[in-house]
Amino acid sequence: MGQEQTRTDALHAGREGRDAVAGETLRDACRTYARALGGRSRAWVVAAPDVADVARRLGIDPTAVAEPLGGTPIRMHDVRTLARRRDEAPAAERIPLAVDVSLTSALGCPAGRLGADVALASLDRVVCQSGCGMAMVGLRREALQGRDGCGGMADAASALPVPDGQRLRALAAGMATFDERRRRANDVAQVMAAYLRCHPAVLDVRYPGLTDDPSYEAAAANLEDGFGPAVDVLVDADVAWRAVGRGVDGSVDLCGRYVPGATASRVQRLATAAGGTWLRVECGCGDARELVAAAEALLRP
């Protein structure tokens, strides 16, 4: 009986210890994101299938959530400009300015400081897992106070489900290396953009880190530690077919098996344009020289 009770006590102690570690992980992640978002923001890490689901639970129309860095071809939408447009509306008619910073992460785009009421992000890149089931929610101070159509939103965010212990352990491991991986992927993308703009098979390149890109000034004012991991290139339709036509769902992996936030990169067909086909190179945090060599082989006639 004594041995059985000892085992039971040990199990309870172990569970309580794991719960304490998970709780501290959650608090650390929330504090990190709140500081990154700026503007006296508050952040939550929640269990959710995607950003759209979180938006709906907060009472936000998912189609109204803006991507500061996104679109085809990729461009930077100045969050400060979007905030000014919100402020120009009568106070009673304002709707929350919600942005999806999944591509840059909250660490790369201080959305609250720039004027966004709500910042949302998938945490797939943090934990290197597609569909990880976790998202970040950030509310700036004015939203916490219920201004600009955000009444009750802080309570709604607090009521969202918390990830389980297994997911939180994956989050703790991912957070330990994510900032370094994020910065490295941005650096790799900068190298990739410079290489692709000189390639004879490439008709156009869009990357906000290039000084002559239409989004460069907005990106320089909105992003930190680089200009994001995605480079868009316009190529002839035949080149696009040779590059990704035989891939899975119009995409091919470069320098390993692509996983969000990890070392490998991916080339994906985006859309057909008047002058050709847009492809997106989503850069991982691997070796830039290896990626350039792989892209050269992919685009070779």
Note if the pTM is more than 0.75.
yes
Output the CA angle 106-111-117, nearest 5 degrees. Answer: 120
d(CA 25, CA 65): 28
The distance of Cα 216 from the centroid of its chain, to the nearest Å, equals 19
| Whether the Cβ atoms of residue 228 and residue 189 lie closer than 8 Å to each other | yes
pLDDT per residue over 202-232, tens digit each? Answer: 999 999 999 999 999 999 999 999 999 999 9
On average, the pLDDT of the chain sits at 93
pLDDT per residue over 56-86, tens digit each? Answer: 999 999 999 999 999 999 999 999 999 999 9
Q: Which residue type, as a one-letter code, is found at position 275?
A: G
Does 17 score more than 90 pLDDT?
Answer: no
- pLDDT-based confidence at 87, cuts 50/70/90? very high
d(CA 225, CA 136): 20
Output the CA angle 100-60-214, nearest 5 degrees. Answer: 35
Q: Which two tokens stand for residue 177?
A: 């290396």
